[in-house]
A and B are shown apart, each in its own frame.
Chain A
Amino acid sequence: MTDVAQPVWIDPTDCHYPEHPAREAATNPYLPHQVTWNETRAFKPAMHPVGRLRYYYKWPGHGGRVWWRKRYWPTRRRVLQIRGEYNPKTMRREKTIVDKRPIWWTLAFIAMILAPAVVPAAGWNTVMSAAAVFGIYAAINLCWMLIIGTAGIFSLASYAVVGAAAYGTTYLAIQLGLPWWLLPLIGALIGLAFGLIIGLPAMRLDGFYYALLTLGVVELCRVYVVQSREFGSATGGLYGAPSYLPANLGQMPRLLFSYYAALALMAFALVVYRFIDGKRLGRVLRMAPEKREAFAQACGVDFVRARIMVFLISSTALGLIGGFYACHFGGASPNLFSFDTVLLSLAMLVIGGIGRSEGAVAGTAIVVFIDRVLIDLGPLRYMLIGAIMLGVVLFLREGLFGIKRQFRTWRDKKKSERRAARAEKGGEMLPEEATETEDKDLIYFRRFDKMQRDFLKRLVTETVIEEHRTRPLGQHSEALERLLIYFRRQGQVDKYAIMVLEEFRAYRIVALSGHRGTAPRVVEDRNYASPDEAYHALFLRRVQDLLES
């Protein structure tokens, strides 16, 4: 809009003298008033993308019908936790799904049930046996997650329980010729006994002492099994347990059947997880996180008992899984006790995030996929798993499923850093305050006021003050007039008034407090001889207040 090149003025009267060339002179560039207007009105503060956003989808509310509140039968929980609220803009009823995890779980289960349909025929054997292993490992990891996450006992011996149950049931089945359906039950008994034995020291030891001890117990089991003759030191494992698969089944249906059985086992472990972690026991334990145990104990929360209970229940479940393991694989191998198994399954827990069931299942899926499906990689696949585990531990707080929360924490930190870095505020609202202010007019008024004051500050010059001193009342220049209009209309820091001490002799400036019965406050210890002087002094005070704001 502005003409950058300096325009040239041509004398219009030179047309009367065509024999001379026209006279020319350089002139000031023409500046349209629109530019000044736009520049003044432009929104200058740097706006950063901050403020709180709600990423909930709002479902439409009901019409006249009462809400459908279906509950799970033995509990008092609803299928979905739905919050109802009014939209303040449209004044309509809206529904918000607060916790969408049940939806994800349902979708995941449907996907798992339908998964065999999409497995390519070439890799059917590998993938389906890996999927069955995934079901069993996920079940074990869920029970282990109860011990590590919910009970807070850092036990590394859960595979020792599984292995002991698997070995014990296989041994008994071979010796006594038991049917397959008895194996998980016997396994549960063995698991309970094992849990009692290794749970006892847990009452006295804490944290790492117990972790190291249980690591030793696993090593002990491995060495015992490898060396003992009746547990198959010669054959590298104990085999010969009855299988739950019907005898007259082809290869493909066999794998399919075992996959669904393992999936059912995982569902069972999920139910156990849900009924411990979400119920009284788990809640008691989550109320007493580490280092606040003494406080919880003093408040009457018997968390030691709760811990032992959780430990025993999950040991029993682990034993049951061990019995299932024995009839799934037809026996047990010393691999169950190896340091690598403990490591890999710890990797499963850690990758998903310790303390959440979806973490256990997703971590198991990732690790089992790398371990069992990408067999061609050789030892590289363990290095890959280890690298993922290391990355998760170094960079994430709570595994994959904690990323969302970690990101939000980081974003909030960045937000507050930005807020702290902003030097200029001047009555304007910060974005965070603005989003929480109901009256949006207030935000715009504050911003307008700030702009106006910034503009008026530029008008305060020596000449304006001199003009006011000579002519406090009467005809004013535009700058002074604007200042005076602003002072007249604006709320003031102090409500100033001129007090007449003696007519035409002494005047003084006071400030009114605004409270009835309180005497006016004397602002300065000075008397003025004429009303005009007092007037000017008051003007100077207001100018000072403006410049300081």
Chain B
Amino acid sequence: MNWSFVLSNATTLACIYGTLAIGISLTWSSLGLVNMAFGFIFALSGYGAWLASLNISAQPAVVMAAGILTGAFGGLIVCLLAFIPIHDKPNFPLRALIATLAISLIGNQALLWYFGPRAKSLPKLFGNWNADIFGVIVTSDKLGASASAIVLLTLILLWMRSSRRGLEIRAMMMNPHAASIVGIGVRRTGFYVMALTGSLAGLASVLLAQTYYVAPFSGITPMVKGLSIALVGGLGSVPGAVIGAVIIGLNEALTSTLLGGQYVLITQFLLIILVLLVRPRGIAGLLDKAREA
């Protein structure tokens, strides 16, 4: 039983899943849209990063920027197709859910059609070295992934906190109706939010591709994990998403060490159901403040 190994694994997973969960949570709370095309954006930005590493340069910065930009582009596509046309029509949440599912179906099949079923691997962004931190051996990709996720997330949260656009997005999260009354454009904010969350998916995709591969359907499992973390944390709450990511990451690392890899999802869902039975809106969600789009 290597506690340090468990801890480092848990941190890395928590960082990556937290990125995804914050993206999902932001979309839901500001736009009222459950973005089921998140997995597609994830896979798309993986391919974007792969193409950039082949055609432009294999520099880590270039690859990561390409992934993030492709993710933002995917987010804009989803916004154009599933948010702008129907956000003021009746029964929006359900229709948006189905529309994003349709986008995900089309997009994943298009990726499969264009790139073929074989998985691609990205170049190692963070080199191949080990670091010894207080006696814990940490590999380069884990350290790099956690560090870049934490840095970029902090930057984004600072931007959300201090900038004009961030203020608009936060206003939409609090009360979309009132925000539109005081002149915050719903469609424009929708573009910002979707580009932002798409770039978060792109970041997570590039980081996760350090350990896994890029494949047409590689986005679905991370998306389901991100969704469940957002659920546990409480949809719409950034600190909740972080707490949920830490809990789920810890659970995953512990379960795979103690019981074995095939029990990860089972314990995870038992945990989620338990949490949701106690607190139906998640850890940081408030019961009477569910978003009614």
In the complex, whether B103 has a CB less than 8 A from a CB of chain A is yes
Interface size on A, residues (CB 8 A): 42
Contacts of A154 in B (CB 8 A): 94
Contacts of A204 in B (CB 8 A): 276-277, 280
Instruction: Tell me the interface secondary structure of chain B in the complex.
Output: helix
Structural contact, A207 and B102, CB atoms closer than 8 A: no
Stretch at the interface among B8-16, B57-65, B121-129, B221-229: B221-229
In the complex, whether A378 has a CB less than 8 A from a CB of chain B is yes
In the complex, whether A287 has a CB less than 8 A from a CB of chain B is no
Alpha-carbon distance A203/B145, docked complex (angstroms): 39
Q: Name B70-105 residues within 8 Å CB distance of A.
A: 81, 85-86, 90-91, 93-95, 97-99, 101-105
Structural contact, A390 and B269, CB atoms closer than 8 A: no
Residue from the list A205, A208, A340, A386 in contact with B103, Cβ < 8 A: A386
A336 → chain B closest CB, angstroms: 16
In the complex, whether B106 has a CB less than 8 A from a CB of chain A is yes
Structural contact, B266 and A224, CB atoms closer than 8 A: yes
A334 → chain B closest CB, angstroms: 14
In the complex, whether A278 has a CB less than 8 A from a CB of chain B is no
Q: Beyond A209-B280, A219-B224, is A386–B95 a contact (Cβ under 8 Å)?
A: no
Q: Name A291-350 residues within 8 Å CB distance of B.
A: 291, 339-340, 343-344, 346-347, 350
Structural contact, A346 and B224, CB atoms closer than 8 A: no
In the complex, whether B7 has a CB less than 8 A from a CB of chain A is no
A449 → chain B closest CB, angstroms: 44
B141-158 Cβ-contact flags toward A at 8 Å (1 or 0): 000000000000000000
Interface size on B, residues (CB 8 A): 44
In the complex, whether B257 has a CB less than 8 A from a CB of chain A is no
Contacts of B221 in A (CB 8 A): 219
The CB with the most chain B CB atoms within 10 A, among A220, A344, A385, is that of A220
Structural contact, B231 and A343, CB atoms closer than 8 A: no
In the complex, whether B273 has a CB less than 8 A from a CB of chain A is yes
Contacts of B93 in A (CB 8 A): 207-208
In the complex, whether A215 has a CB less than 8 A from a CB of chain B is yes
Contacts of B98 in A (CB 8 A): 346, 350, 389, 393
Q: Beyond A213-B273, A389-B105, is A394–B85 a contact (Cβ under 8 Å)?
A: yes
A107 → chain B closest CB, angstroms: 30
A95 → chain B closest CB, angstroms: 36
In the complex, whether A216 has a CB less than 8 A from a CB of chain B is yes
A375 → chain B closest CB, angstroms: 14
In the complex, whether B109 has a CB less than 8 A from a CB of chain A is yes
Contacts of B286 in A (CB 8 A): none
Structural contact, A212 and B34, CB atoms closer than 8 A: yes
Residue from the list B85, B94, B276 in contact with A205, Cβ < 8 A: B276
Given contacts A201-B277, A208-B93, 5 further A-B contacts (CB under 8 A): A291-B292, A340-B105, A344-B105, A383-B109, A394-B81
Q: List 9 A-B contacts (CB under 8 A).
A: A216-B228, A216-B272, A228-B262, A346-B98, A378-B113, A383-B106, A386-B106, A390-B81, A390-B99
Interchain residue pairs A-B with the least CB separation, the first 5: A386-B106, A386-B105, A390-B102, A389-B102, A382-B109
B residues apposed to A, CB below 8 Å: 28, 34, 81, 85-86, 90-91, 93-95, 97-99, 101-106, 109-110, 112-113, 217, 220-221, 224, 227-228, 230-231, 235, 262, 265-266, 269, 272-273, 276-277, 280-281, 290, 292
A residues apposed to B, CB below 8 Å: 154, 200-201, 204-209, 211-213, 215-217, 219-220, 223-224, 227-228, 291, 339-340, 343-344, 346-347, 350, 378-380, 382-383, 385-387, 389-390, 393-394, 397
